[in-house]
Amino acid sequence: MNIKMILPALTEAKSPYWRPIKYSLFPPLGLATLAAYCSPNDEVTLQDEHVEELDLDDEPDLVVIQVYITNAFRAYAMADHYRTRGAYVCLGGLHVTSLPEEAAPHADTIFLGPGEESWPRFLSDFAAGRALRCYVSSHRSLSGIPPVRRDLIKRQLYLVPNSIVVSRGCPHHCDFCYKDAFFEGGKSFYTQLVDEALSEIDRLPGRHLYFLDDHLLGNQHFASALFEGMKGMNRVFQGASTIDAILRGDLIERAAEAGLRSVFVGFETLSAGNLVQSNKRQNLGKDYEAAVRRLYSLGIMINGSFVFGLDEDDQDVFRRTVDWAVSMGLTTSTFHILTPYPGTRLFAQMEREGRILHRQWDLYDTRQVVYKTNNLTEAQLKEGYDWAYRSFYSWSNIARASFQHLAYKHSLKHFLYAGGWKKFEPLWNFLIKTGGLNGMLPLLEAILSRVRPDRSPFPAIA
């Protein structure tokens, strides 16, 4: 059987004139994971429209399309195209799970929730000629899953081909999180067996890894055993954690010893009231500065995540947030406009209150205002968000944040990483277009290499 798997892209990600680097970071692991369940006799191809032009003139037997909110309309168009050509089309992903009634008319079969159990069930039914219209994830486990089909991934097209996921979901349930609907009706957080995760890591070439797990430190027993097993592998890796996990016990020290050099942290807001509104209770009462100091004492860089537009935010929230992030020496920051994704408690609440402005899903990208705001006007929120990015990544603030580190090498590493990420986008675009992106991986590994940690608290800027 000829099976084609597709990750559709946003318009800006497939433009022949400009390719933002963020769309060329990670390969589509979800589809490569499903491909591992296919028969050895199947001919499977995987195309990621973020990094390559799609061939839509082929005639596969089975087409599988991953749908998330901002590619939904494009995914539906592709699905309709292949159905007219006689292919059997399957749709799955976050958006399909959130709005199955919207996706169903465009597919022969839809999948709700994670696919490790439902996808092989479908393959068996499809081969027997009795495939269902809808498959819902029931039993959830990562025990014994086959190795990811990394042979289908075009490694040379990605900056971070060694991305990996060793868990599913998150132990927390923030009201604005898109993942909660995806895991509804079953386990919302579960991990691989440690030995199987270590075997997957051992198969990856090079030194650098990027764990795409929502919360790498979410299961203390699993994470401790994973980091213990990674000692001596000579890896450098990046991942995500919560403030709570960073401050609790010695797990973050174990991670650093295993090679953690950069961590994504969801600070989200400096307002306790906003944390309550978002049900982000894992941050309530936690000392952000203590978490930052602990990470720097281990030589770990920080990518901080912040959300603007929560109901307690006022016109000064942008300046306060940027000033705090710079004074704390955060290496990079990711800013978002609050976005009520369908299937979340936030969306349901705003819909009840008549605050949803439209359902143009391609604009639900956390860069546009898609709901009626509270203390800020729509224009103030959008302008403040744009200003925050410009201000945080200005050369002056990159330098100012760099000098918060007492270790000279850490300051230099910060400056190179932050500056390289945001100030050389034309160079990234050139490398993407000329196929030289993967050649930058040794430089990334060098920047992430261990430096002497900041052993003393960094000086605060007055």
Burial class (CB in 10 A: 0-12, 13-18, 19+), 398: buried
Q: What is the mean pLDDT of residues 292-308?
A: 94
Q: How confident is the model at residue 233 (pLDDT cuts 50, 70, 90)?
A: very high
The pLDDT of residue 163: 95
Window from 130-139, 378-387, 414-423, 453-462 with minimum mean pLDDT = 453-462
* Encoded tokens for 272: 């306790």
Window from 31-35, 46-50, 179-183, 395-399 with minimum mean pLDDT = 179-183
**Residues above pLDDT 70, as percent of the chain:** 96
Q: What is the mean pLDDT of residues 341-361?
A: 94
Q: Are 448 and 332 in contact (CB under 8 A)?
A: no
Whether the predicted pLDDT of 34 surpasses 60: yes
Rounded Cα gap, residues 429 and 435, in angstroms? 10
The pLDDT of residue 455: 52
Q: What is the mean pLDDT of residues 447-454?
A: 72
Tens digits of residue pLDDT in 201-213: 999 999 999 999 9
Angle at 67 between CA 196 and CA 129, to 5 degrees: 80
Q: What is the mean pLDDT of residues 160-178?
A: 88
The pLDDT of residue 22: 84
Q: How confident is the model at residue 451 (pLDDT cuts 50, 70, 90)?
A: low
Whether the predicted pLDDT of 295 surpasses 90: yes
The pLDDT of residue 462: 29
Q: How many C-beta atoms surround the C-beta of residue 11 within 10 A?
A: 10
- The full set of domains in the chain, from first to last, is 2-136 (3.40.50.280), 159-448 (3.20.20.70)
Overall pTM surpassing 0.85 (yes/no): yes
Q: What is the mean pLDDT of residues 63-89?
A: 97
Rounded Cα gap, residues 240 and 255, in angstroms? 11
The pLDDT of residue 460: 39
Helix runs in 236-344, H state only = 243-247, 251-258, 272-278, 288-297, 317-327
Per-residue exposure over 227-245, b if at least 16 CB sit within 10 Å of its own CB, e if not: bebbeeeebbbbbbbbbbb
Whether the predicted pLDDT of 277 surpasses 80: no
The pLDDT of residue 453: 60
Rounded Cα gap, residues 209 and 235, in angstroms? 7
Q: What is the mean pLDDT of residues 218-247?
A: 95
* Encoded tokens for 311: 């109901």
Q: What is the mean pLDDT of residues 309-326?
A: 95
The pLDDT of residue 446: 86
Q: How confident is the model at residue 172 (pLDDT cuts 50, 70, 90)?
A: confident
The pLDDT of residue 173: 80
Q: What is the mean pLDDT of residues 172-176?
A: 81
Window from 21-30, 274-283, 386-395 with minimum mean pLDDT = 274-283
Higher pLDDT, 280 or 376: 376
Q: How confident is the model at residue 435 (pLDDT cuts 50, 70, 90)?
A: confident
The pLDDT of residue 354: 96
The pLDDT of residue 17: 60
E-strand spans in 114-228? 134-136, 163-164, 167-169, 189-191, 208-211
Window from 112-116, 135-139, 161-165, 452-456 with minimum mean pLDDT = 452-456
Burial class (CB in 10 A: 0-12, 13-18, 19+), 57: exposed
Q: Are strands 134-136 and 163-164 parallel, antiparallel or unpaired?
A: unpaired
Whether the predicted pLDDT of 405 surpasses 60: yes
Whether the predicted pLDDT of 108 surpasses 70: yes
Q: Are strands 109-112 and 332-337 parallel, antiparallel or unpaired?
A: unpaired
The pLDDT of residue 19: 66
In sequence order, the β-bridge partners of residue 371 are 356
Q: Which of 43, 59, 45 is nearest to 153 (CA)?
A: 45
